[in-house]
Amino acid sequence: MNVEDNRRSVISLPTCVDDLPAPAMLNEEDGYAIDAVIAGLHGDTDALAASANEIAFLAQSIGSDDLQLAISVEFWRTLLDADRHVVPAGAVRSSGRWALVTGLSDDVWAQLTLRTLEITGGAIDLAIEVADRCKAAHASENSIRILLLLLGKGEPWEQHHIAGVAIETLRAVAPMPVDESFQQLRTRLIELGHHEAADIRIDEGR
């Protein structure tokens, strides 16, 4: 199996951990409130990460107006808000799968993904898909900051892809009003050896 085939298999499969609470939580079964689930998995990085991954996997087939999507997003948000002794940083990196949840608005996705990356120091599962969601979404300060945190992280093929997306994003936003994050992303690309970024400048005639 080559690298691309392996990546596709990871995308298509949910976690293999048995008896996770996600379906019961989405169905609002007794004893499976979000706070109760997190308390029950207190400090268990693997179980929390597997639950976060499964929630996002199930959300891929949920419509934007479905109550179960709201529950899923609230679970993600609660993981991010939790004390890191309760939910270790490594448990939220599986939240990269949310890049594949089309029912979630780009604004909410970018806000929560940025928070995830700030907690993990830029480490996240499915980093290529996260970068591609930034490219597909309307360029925003949050999406630029996401790319900035992703740059230089992960496997070499992920780094190459993310840098390419970052350069495309710079070119797309250069004619628009930009903030400090534009220059930070441009500088970081140059530092990593992507010198074509040096030719992308804000329209000085604006």
Spatial distance between the Cα atoms of 45 and 39, rounded to a whole number of angstroms: 12
Residue 65 lies in a domain: yes
In Å, how far from its chain's centre is CA 23?
22
**Hey, what are 194's tokens?**
């992507």
For residue 6, is pLDDT > 50? no
Residue 17 lies in a domain: yes
Query: Rounded mean pLDDT of the chain?
Result: 88
In Å, how far from its chain's centre is CA 117?
7
Same domain, 60 and 133: no
Average pLDDT over residues 9-22: 52
Task: Label residue 182 exposed, middle or buried (CB < 10 Å: 0-12, 13-18, 19+).
Answer: buried
Average pLDDT over residues 103-111: 96
- Count the Cβ atoms, other than its own, within 10 Å of residue 81: 10
Residue 1: strand, helix, or coil: coil
Domain that holds residue 180: 126-206
Residue 202 lies in a domain: yes
Same domain, 14 and 91: yes
- The predicted-structure confidence for 128-178, as pLDDT tens digits, reads as follows 999 999 988 767 889 999 999 999 999 999 999 999 999 999 998 888 877
Short-list 66, 36, 68, 65, CA closest to 54: 68
In residues, how long is the chain? 206
- The predicted-structure confidence for 31-45, as pLDDT tens digits, reads as follows 999 999 999 999 999
Give, as one character, the DSSP assignment of residue 58.
H
% of residues, the chain, pLDDT over 90 = 78
Q: Are 90 and 82 in contact (CB under 8 A)?
A: no
Same domain, 89 and 142: no
Residue 115 lies in a domain: no
- The predicted-structure confidence for 54-95, as pLDDT tens digits, reads as follows 999 999 999 999 999 999 999 999 999 999 999 999 999 999
pTM to 2 decimal places = 0.88
Spatial distance between the Cα atoms of 90 and 79, rounded to a whole number of angstroms: 11
pLDDT of residue 191: 96
pLDDT of residue 152: 95
Same domain, 16 and 50: yes
Spatial distance between the Cα atoms of 72 and 54, rounded to a whole number of angstroms: 10
How many domains does one find in the chain? Answer: 2
